[in-house]
Structure 1
Amino acid sequence: MRPRILISLMAFILALAPLPARANEANEINLRLFGENVIEGWDGCRFGLWQHNRDPDEDRYAYVLFAPIPDGEALPAWVKIGDEIIEVSPVDIGSADTGLIEPFRLYRDLDSKLTVMLEIFEQARTDAGIAISDARLTFLRDDKFPFSIRVKGLNGCPGTASASGAQADNRLSLGASVGFDSLDSVPAPVLRAIATEAPECEPENTAGFSSAYSISDEMTLWEVPCNLYASHGSSVFAVSWTYHPDHATVLLFPGPPGLDIADYAGLLNAGVDPATGTVTSYSLERGGDCGSFDKFQLVDAEGETVEFRLVEFREKTVCDGIETDPADFPLVYDGR
């Protein structure tokens, strides 16, 4: 009798015990990665997110969420759960007001049975659009366990990246700096161009320390002081030509895309690296613990001239009392 009692007791205990892990599979969201089998070869503008350790250009299945942008406005996004492709549309929860994507976004399907929560931790503007370097998607579905996955992505048009590469081939370097201690050494056409094209600059009210950099045998880049302030100063850059000695032009600096900043001439706290042909600038708030940082590349331009292209914009908007090198401020735009 004892063996029978023992067997019956074990059966009773097993009946009360939790089911094996396999039984919980019914409660798990069966998220699937996808590629061409879902996006059908779409190569235009898109909002796409892929698993953080995959590359959609190299891996057959990499995407977690994908929304074509045929006319500047994203269509409902696609996700794949099991064998089912589900359309989810963004739920309006307000704008980021930063020129980037709002850091928190919700998507829902038509029946409100699936909610997808997007959290963006790191993003920056590039020539191809807004690149997302770190984000998380969390899937919520009725009677299922929440499922989270780390992702990267792009909101933009990847085809424009090749144009950026073409621009990179036009990068110019400069000859060594030649310094001057007064405006008397600056060619008159350069000073006239500044007075006409950058009237807000007043070189005559500065000490007049200037620098010249050779671009080629025919072109010279001039850095001329623009205005002096209590703790910093601004410079203006102009180009002169040996074959056109009576002419010069002021070069403008482009503002970051999406921030509604017009091109400008005066550059605060300018620093020139002749070897790379780059010019940096930074601006600090009164406490010195927040502000912005720009980096520009001198490139060839149409009409036998040159221009500056923005390659990096950084900004620290929170003045937290911690002084940081402006070159280490959070990256907002990357045009390299």
Structure 2
Amino acid sequence: MKALTALAGLIGAMALLLGGNPAARAAEDDTKIALKLFGKQDIESDLGTCRFSLWQDDRDPETDRYAYLFHVNSGDRGYAGPARVKIGDTVHQLFELAAGGAASNEVAGHYLYASDNREVRVHIEIRSADQSGEDNRISDAVMTVIQKGKVPFVAIAKGVLGCGGQQTASAAPAYQPDARAPGLPNGIPIGRQTLLNDMSELPPVLVQLMREQTGDECDVDGYHAWGGARYVINDYYLLWEVPCISAAYQAASVLAVTENPPRGWGNLLTLPNPPGISGEDYQAMNADILGPKGLVRTTALSRGVGDCGRYRVHRLIDGPGEVLELELLEYREKTDCDGIEMAPKEWPLIYQSY
């Protein structure tokens, strides 16, 4: 608080010194961060079921056209990011650098985001939050925006962090996991996704292993709509998504590990099936990687309308012999393609290991 008070005093003194001179006021404008509010209709990927959103404390995002200061979808579409803030006419994409500090209701007290070039940084301090279902409702937060060559901009905010989505009290209740298991155990954290421009950026050893080991499961040399992705695990390992198949309504990748940086060694990760379902496979269908939790969710649809198929959750763990592997946590399957659509995580539970 002392730092914020001192900053406010500094800005006020600058305003008094510069206020009477038009040229000086123009110079002052050059030092200001032109932070802009935006609405949910401005978020290209729509509000996710899992999200971290902040809005100006005197605005209501449900009724005000412009209310949001900061927004990032997470969980339901993979690792959190990119976040967005709007400065002037530019929407900046930010990625999480760190989270921690004193917690409020199991929510970290501090979050730091930055653009890839570090030109824009956002520090968020959550001072009060209360749990409401799967959401943490943030009643008091301070958001500080730092841009190179500008005076930091401080905003008081409210918001939400969690996976409750946009349901209201009258909406259908959120899925409740099996009473035996209060929640999914975390795996080894996975860093944020870096998309590859094309498959030529994949380590050659992984492409060769795909040809040798995946057989008819994959067509690594065929057409793929994307080039794959890379994730940092730690100073020793990288995780890769290698395109496997691209079909009409779904796609599969293979998860693989190399040294960090790659040096000619690689290992393809298999996805175990539950007891009673034979074998393992390589296909991570429609993979959803929850980076901070170290989880990988896959959904294999039996047909395009998405009313049947199988859903698996694995976590990344240390295996024997200092290798990484995937452990099956949950397996669900809906075999009746009856036209009734529901979230895959609500399909009948076949197996649960936690």
TM norm structure 2? 0.46
- Structure with bigger gyration radius: 1
